[in-house]
Structure 1
Amino acid sequence: MAFDRQKVVEAVKEAKARAKPRNFTQTVEMAVNLKDIDLRKPENRFKLEVVLPHGRGKEPKIAVIADGAVAEAAKRLGLDVISGEQLEELAKSPREARKLAKRYDFFIAAAPLMPKIGRYLGRYLGPRNKMPQVVPPTLTNLEPIVNRLKKTVRIQLKNNPVVHAPIGTEDMDDEKLAENAEAVLNAIINKLERGENQVKSVYIKTTMGPAVKVER
């Protein structure tokens, strides 16, 4: 990889050092700027799920849209459940549907409800890259899926040649944040036709802090 691990660690340290103290734990984010890529061609756009080796730093909010066995499995894990009946109620209130799409980071859905989800929530979930992970209606153990989602970030390359991704929180170890950054960067590079040659620059920042360039 063209980016040296130590250079990534240094950028993480500087981004954290330059961030002013806030009354909340800031997310550490990265921006990967690309070059020589024609985004008018659909084949050059992509969506990715990347499992961060050291997790997100804070647990994402996960909701389960299901009835029956999947709903019961979700309740056992203490997850918020949206029933098929509640889903139909959302169809009457676009404002509530929009708020729901914003409130959660990930959705898991029982397969039989997907047509309704597409109809009632698709316009709110799709643009946010939050369409649900689909599971069989008889699934009784959601724990492996939930544990994976807790470490997952979703990224996409759409209209602009830059990919943004959270890589953890400012209270995480610098080395661990750098490893998370590498996982995201490698996933992006693997999707590019000419790999790292199409990476123009990489920046690290906290939620409210200035961006720091990763030197090559």
Structure 2
Amino acid sequence: MAFERQKLAEAVKEAKARAKPRNFTQTVEVAVNLKDVDLKKPENRFKLEVMLPHGRGKEVKIAVIADGAVAEAAKKLGLDVISGEKLEELSSNSREARKLARKYDFFIAAAPLMPKIGRYLGRFLGPRNKMPVVVPPTMTNLEPIVNKLKKTVRIQLKNNPVIHAPIGMEDMDDDKLAENMEAVITAILNKLERGENQVKSVYVKTTMGPAVKVER
């Protein structure tokens, strides 16, 4: 591992110490800067879902786009449901569709509605890396998927050689944030052809605080 857990924890601690107090709990974010990656080649771009060992430290907003059994399963878990009929309404209301894409962290969708989701919401969800997790229309237990998503962050390498990811909230323990950061970095290294040799630098910061470099 290119970065020791202790070094990660030290950087987290410094980033939190250097952040000015705000009237809200800030997110702690990691930025992994890469080198020697040709992003003109599609095979070098990637999307990842990373499970954070200690979760995101905040409520994760999940919406379910479905009718029938999947919609009923979602309601039992207290999740917001977007019906097929509501989806149709979004076809003529770009403002509402954009607002919906911003509101939720994740979407779960019944498979039969995916063509309409692609048509009406795809241009809003795709750029935000929020395309739905697809489930069968007969699924009656969404709890395992929901529990997994609550601890998941989605990251992607697309046009620029840097990957940003939230690793928790500033009121979380330094060591737990360090473990979450380690999970993100490890997942990225596993996708790189030459692993840590393609990592230029790693920084950690709070939402509005200064970036602190992680020492190797």
What secondary structure does 1:126 align onto? Answer: helix
Distance 2:92 2:61 in 1: 24
What secondary structure does 1:114 align onto? Answer: helix
Aligned match of 1:45: 45
The alignment covers a number of residue pairs equal to: 216
What secondary structure does 2:127 align onto? Answer: coil
Distance 1:130 1:124 in 2: 9
CA deviations over 1:54-81 (Å, ceiling 9, x no partner)? 0000021100000000000000111000
| 1:1-216 paired onto structure 2 within 5 Å | 1-216=1-216
- What is the RMSD of the two structures over their aligned residues, measured on CA atoms? 0.4
Distance 2:2 2:184 in 1: 14
Runs of 4+ aligned structure 1 residues displaced above 4 Å come to none
Amino acid corresponding to residue 137 of structure 2 in structure 1? P
Cα distance, 1:215 vs. partner? 0.4
Structure 1, unaligned stretches of length 5 or more?
A: none
Structure 2, unaligned stretches of length 5 or more?
A: none
Cα distance, 1:179 vs. partner? 0.3
CA deviations over 1:191-214 (Å, ceiling 9, x no partner)? 000001000000000001000000
Distance 1:51 1:5 in 2: 17
CA deviations over 1:135-193 (Å, ceiling 9, x no partner)? 00000110000000000000000000000000000010000000000000000000000
Distance 1:121 1:21 in 2: 37
Amino acid corresponding to residue 101 of structure 1 in structure 2? A
Distance 2:145 2:180 in 1: 20
Amino acid corresponding to residue 72 of structure 2 in structure 1? E
Distance 1:144 1:194 in 2: 34
Amino acid corresponding to residue 211 of structure 2 in structure 1? A
Distance 1:59 1:102 in 2: 15
Distance 2:134 2:119 in 1: 15
Please give the TM-score of this superposition, normalised by the length of structure 2: 0.99
Cα distance, 1:2 vs. partner? 1.2
What secondary structure does 1:131 align onto? Answer: coil
Please give the TM-score of this superposition, normalised by the length of structure 1: 0.99
